[in-house]
Structure 1
Amino acid sequence: MNSSASDIPFLNRLPREWRRALGAISLLWIATGLGAGLAFATQALMARELGPSEYGLFASSLATITIAAPLAGFGLPQYWLQAYGVEGWLANRWLGPSLRFISASTVMTLLLVVLWSFIGAPSDARPMLLLMLPVVLGLLAVNLISSQLRLEERHALLAWWQLITPGGRALVAALLWLMPGLDGRVAAVGFSATSLLMAMLAWPRLREMMRGGIQLHGHGPPPEQQVVADAPIPSVARLLSQSWAYGLETSLYPIFFSISTVLLKYLVGNVQAGIFGIALGVMMAIYLIPSTLYQKFLLSKLHRWAVHDRDKFWKVYRHGSVAMLASGVLVGAVLAVAAPWLVPIVFGEKYQPVVHVLMILAVCVPVRFLTTGLTSALLNEVHMRYRVLAMGLSAVVVIAANAMLIPRYHATGAAIAVVLGEISLMMAMYVGVRRFHPHGAAG
């Protein structure tokens, strides 16, 4: 029997805009759930096959690459959303300098990772870091095309695009399972191959966008060619002056989120890094729930509504924040209840210490969900500067707490440090909303 969402009486009574939004969100959440499942399966297979020590080396090396990767592009994918939300079609003028800046920053990032692998990283991490250099290109490709697809509101294609990386990594994990005895270096090569595939798939779409081929949604038909041609072309320096806050925020976030794994490897050893890396991977999958709604679906709309439809902007903010807090409490409770029996089944008895770490990190779930809702009200350049400051201070909290707690409490100390960092970030975002929007946030 054939049916569609429009055949459901309840949905038929909803406005057409609501039906479209529910369909898009459902599609993105289904894809996100599938991606999270693939990432979870990848992590479980690799942890079982590599063992705590080898997996810890792999996880800490991948975390190091993840921390460095946002320097490539330095926030431009996020700035595009703001620029097009405000300027509409005229924002095409930023694409030329964007390409030049992306190229230069990517080369600089790759050189920085190579330099760190020789003069800063432990000797056992050097081969892994060098093998995973292409991961920088893959993450950049994912972010650039994701921003393009969000601007075009092509949610189905965005969903498929975001599944390629976890799908490729799952194949690598399956290879380790089918061929016992392979080490972390083989996994590093597999992850790099997936990243190179992403870069190759992204290039034709990126090239077409740079030629003005973007199908921008929500700003009406494109203007006359002469209107676009007459728009002043900014320099790379001008671009950087507009986008640096986005770059700093995207660079600070992986430090805030992943530095604990790296510090555990450096201060205690690979085994504790592996224990914490598994727990952090579980949290990463959970955090996809709010990020799917806000980053993949709402963000480009919020930039547009913040300028052109303030009533809708604040309505989404208020209802979204309440929904995020409620769902975060529920998901955090489920995690705390499920962890003691799920971890041994999925990862094996040798990873039993992960349970204690997850019980602590469960506190972060409602905090992060609410933080995501609060942050949605801070979008423009002034707000971004404040967000950078808040993220920087929270990263300092995490690093300082890790330095004090890891030597004595190991992975448990790292988990406590992350909780402290998440709470400090949430409080900073709340203060920011009250400061910049004293009337709108309470209206």
Structure 2
Amino acid sequence: MRIQIARNVLWLVLERGLQVVFGIASIGMIARAIGPEGFAAFQYAQSLVLIASSIALICGAEVVVPRLVADRAPAAQHRLLVHVFALREAAAIAGYLIVMAVVALTEKNDVIVLTAIIIGIPILFYEPFGTVRAWLQSRTDSRPGVVFGMVGLAFRVAAIGVLYLAGSRAAPAFAWVFAGEAMICASLLARYYRKRSPRVAVSIDVSLARRLLRDGAVFWVSLMLLLLAKRIDQLLLKPHISLFELGGYAASMQVLDNFMMLGSIVASSVAPMMVYAQPTLARARRNVLYVATGMLVAGIVGGAVLAFCAPWIIALIYGEHYEAAADLLRLSAMASGLVFLDAALTLLVVYLRKPRWLVEKWFLVLSTMIVVDLIAIPMFGARGAVYGYVAGNAVAVMAGVGFFIRSREPMAAAQQAA
């Protein structure tokens, strides 16, 4: 069983690693093709879509997978998955309609409007059809989902490469690639599940849907707050600087996000054996300290290397016209240690199954970012948004340390009971 779990984790890590590599390659070609202003419009539209897509994160794997594991009967699992898919699809449609309404009412830039409408199409596919991924996860077999994801990533890089070599300069044209990738992945997942699912009719059970909504509400809120915290900076920054400057900021943060993803990859790789498999809270807390120490050092060293190499990295990925992004990347890289440390401290919250703690943390992070951005952006422009990013991650670490201290309470109670 341990070998199967380890193999499953390796497949997931492989997918995340390829997402980083392919993501950098594709975004670099887009940025070179459409220039800083076009790239700013593309990234701003993507930020709007990412925030709206959080609505479709209802009934997450944290709620679905345990239910699938508890009841292995194919008919019962199929019934559950149908309800989860219906809820996610309804939420996804609502999220997409919100995107269209927001850009129609608030945006005068036709490129942003059209790009947001097109790049918002994946909202309708990723999370609803991601229900199949939850089913695969419950079977400890993520390989098919990873393979389908690789197919989609390969399509994205190939299609963007063709558009780049063809000399395309239109952001909406590149947005269609992301829509096509989502449809390909969704169709492959649906086909795989259809071949293995029971052919039984499912009637809608309102009480089951209500329970799924209730049980997943806390995870849902925490994910929405997380995604808001990740992209609120660009929404607050756009009214205060030119699209050219926003393009440079978006370029620097894109590199930083891909580097920070390494922290979550490392954390998810070591978590099953180092933390989640520990029989006692004391051992889990001790191992979290080990992981946190190692990741803090890795984040600081990696951030220093990233800051030192910032001009070469920006030039390699984005080419000309993005020189300002190097200074912003050098400044924002100082938060690397904080992000890596936060990823490690979060493992204890997951171990304790305290989703409300995550809601508390991301609410504090989001509030801090908004306050700092509203004060610093008018004064410092793009650098002000970086200050907000650093401040938000500092608060995330402080919250994580606070949760670590709070976790001593159940351990002390258990010792007294013994």
TM norm structure 2: 0.84
Query: CA separation of 1:411/1:168 partners in 2, compared to 1, >3 Å: closer, same or farther?
Result: farther
1:215-237 Cα offsets, whole Å, 9 max, x none, are xxxxxxxxxxxxxxxxx995222
Pairwise CA distance, 1:299:
6.4
Pairwise CA distance, 1:395:
0.8
**In the alignment, is residue 408 of structure 1 matched against residue 379 of structure 2?**
yes
Pairwise CA distance, 1:208:
6.9
Query: CA separation of 1:341/1:298 partners in 2, compared to 1, >3 Å: closer, same or farther?
Result: same
User: Match for residue 329 of structure 1?
Assistant: 300
1:367-396 Cα offsets, whole Å, 9 max, x none, are 111111111111379721121121012111
User: Match for residue 336 of structure 2?
Assistant: 365
Say which SS state the counterpart of residue 58 (structure 2) adopts: coil
Whole-angstrom CA distance in 2 between matches of 1:408 and 1:376: 37
Question: In structure 2, which of residues 177, 184, 197 is the aligned counterpart of residue 197 of structure 1?
Answer: 184
One-letter amino acid of the structure 1 residue matched with residue 334 of structure 2: V
**In the alignment, is residue 422 of structure 1 matched against residue 393 of structure 2?**
yes
User: Match for residue 150 of structure 1?
Assistant: 137
1:291-346 Cα offsets, whole Å, 9 max, x none, are 2244478469966x47x775774465343323322222222122112112222233
Question: In structure 1, which of residues 113, 117, 127 is the aligned counterpart of residue 99 of structure 2?
Answer: 113
User: Match for residue 228 of structure 1?
Assistant: none
Whole-angstrom CA distance in 1 between matches of 2:211 and 2:10: 39
Alignment of 1:197-346 (within 5 A): 197-205=184-192, 235-295=208-268, 298=271, 305=277, 313-314=284-285, 316-346=287-317
Query: CA separation of 1:198/1:162 partners in 2, compared to 1, >3 Å: closer, same or farther?
Result: closer
One-letter amino acid of the structure 2 residue matched with residue 261 of structure 1: Q
Alignment of 1:372-391 (within 5 A): 372-379=343-350, 383-391=354-362
User: Match for residue 47 of structure 1?
Assistant: 31
Pairwise CA distance, 1:74:
1.9
Q: Would you say the 8 A contact 1:131–1:185 is kept in 2?
A: yes
Query: CA separation of 1:401/1:113 partners in 2, compared to 1, >3 Å: closer, same or farther?
Result: same
User: Match for residue 47 of structure 2?
Assistant: 63
Pairwise CA distance, 1:428:
0.9
Whole-angstrom CA distance in 1 between matches of 2:207 and 2:264: 31
One-letter amino acid of the structure 2 residue matched with residue 34 of structure 1: L
Whole-angstrom CA distance in 1 between matches of 2:405 and 2:71: 29
Q: Would you say the 8 A contact 1:31–1:163 is kept in 2?
A: yes
Which of 283-292 and 65-74 deviates more?
283-292
Which of 256-265 and 318-327 deviates more?
318-327
**In the alignment, is residue 347 of structure 1 matched against residue 318 of structure 2?**
yes
1:54-112 Cα offsets, whole Å, 9 max, x none, are 11101110111011112114252333345567x47489475454233223212221222
Query: CA separation of 1:32/1:382 partners in 2, compared to 1, >3 Å: closer, same or farther?
Result: closer
Gap regions ≥5 residues in structure 1 = 1-15, 214-231
TM norm structure 1: 0.80
Whole-angstrom CA distance in 1 between matches of 2:21 and 2:359: 31
1:110-138 Cα offsets, whole Å, 9 max, x none, are 22222212223344322111122212134
Q: Would you say the 8 A contact 1:387–1:429 is kept in 2?
A: no
Q: Would you say the 8 A contact 1:390–1:428 is kept in 2?
A: yes
Query: CA separation of 1:347/1:103 partners in 2, compared to 1, >3 Å: closer, same or farther?
Result: closer
Which of 197-206 and 239-248 deviates more?
197-206
Query: CA separation of 1:68/1:30 partners in 2, compared to 1, >3 Å: closer, same or farther?
Result: same
Query: CA separation of 1:249/1:177 partners in 2, compared to 1, >3 Å: closer, same or farther?
Result: same
Whole-angstrom CA distance in 2 between matches of 1:295 and 1:94: 27
Query: CA separation of 1:145/1:358 partners in 2, compared to 1, >3 Å: closer, same or farther?
Result: farther
Q: Would you say the 8 A contact 2:63–2:212 is kept in 1?
A: no
User: Match for residue 90 of structure 2?
Assistant: 104
Q: Would you say the 8 A contact 1:137–1:196 is kept in 2?
A: no
Whole-angstrom CA distance in 1 between matches of 2:273 and 2:65: 6
One-letter amino acid of the structure 2 residue matched with residue 258 of structure 1: R
Q: Would you say the 8 A contact 1:100–1:236 is kept in 2?
A: no
Pairwise CA distance, 1:403:
1.9
Pairwise CA distance, 1:402:
1.7
User: Match for residue 12 of structure 1?
Assistant: none
Alignment of 1:3-22 (within 5 A): 17=2
Pairwise CA distance, 1:34:
3.0
Query: CA separation of 1:70/1:36 partners in 2, compared to 1, >3 Å: closer, same or farther?
Result: same
**In the alignment, is residue 130 of structure 1 matched against residue 101 of structure 2?**
no
The percent of aligned pairs where both chains have the same amino acid is 19
Whole-angstrom CA distance in 1 between matches of 2:45 and 2:341: 30
Whole-angstrom CA distance in 2 between matches of 1:209 and 1:267: 53
Q: For the aligned residues, what is the CA RMSD? A: 3.4
Query: CA separation of 1:144/1:319 partners in 2, compared to 1, >3 Å: closer, same or farther?
Result: farther
One-letter amino acid of the structure 2 residue matched with residue 326 of structure 1: V
Q: Would you say the 8 A contact 1:146–1:161 is kept in 2?
A: no
Say which SS state the counterpart of residue 348 (structure 2) adopts: coil
Query: CA separation of 1:71/1:283 partners in 2, compared to 1, >3 Å: closer, same or farther?
Result: same
Which of 403-412 and 370-379 deviates more?
403-412
Whole-angstrom CA distance in 2 between matches of 1:296 and 1:199: 26
Alignment of 1:156-171 (within 5 A): 156-171=143-158
User: Match for residue 223 of structure 1?
Assistant: none
**In the alignment, is residue 184 of structure 1 matched against residue 171 of structure 2?**
yes
> Would you say how many aligned residue pairs link Structure 1 and Structure 2?
405
